[in-house]
Amino acid sequence: MSLTLADVRRIAHLARIEITHDQAEATAAQLNDIFAMIERSGRVDTAGVEPMTHPLDGVQRLRQDVVEPPPEREELLRNAPEQQDGLFLVPRVIE
């Protein structure tokens, strides 16, 4: 397998990271090195092996469905790049 420049641009778009042409070239080379290393594990026979997604094979614990006091609104908004009247501001998305 070898990732092309078009592949890298598509992945960068999916990841919502802007990438220049020069960066895409350098990134393609590095990603291909990484995937060449990753391919080694693809050759292992895993027939009948259950995938492991949690090291203790734990089940997701659910908390009681009770109302808890939410964090302070002002404190949460303090880190926002732009805010107004208690709301997060983003560029206009509906004309």
5 binds other proteins, rule: CB under 8 A: no
Q: Minimum CB separation from other proteins for residue 25, in Å?
A: 14
80 binds other proteins, rule: CB under 8 A: yes
Inter-CA distances, 7 with 11, 51, 54, Å: 6, 27, 30
Q: CB nearer to other proteins: give 67 or 90.
A: 90
| Cα–Cα distance, 73 to 59 (Å, whole number) | 32
Q: Closest Cα to residue 13, out of 24, 1, 29? A: 24
Could you tell me how many residues of this chain bind other proteins (CB under 8 A)? 52
Query: Residue 9: exposed, middle, or buried by beta-carbon count in 10 A (0-12, 13-18, 19+)?
Result: middle
Q: Minimum CB separation from other proteins for residue 85, in Å?
A: 16
The amino acid that residue 74 corresponds to is E
Could you list the residues that contact other proteins (CB under 8 A)?
3, 7-8, 11-19, 27, 30-31, 33-35, 37-42, 44, 46, 49-56, 58, 60-63, 71-72, 75-76, 78-82, 88, 90-91, 93
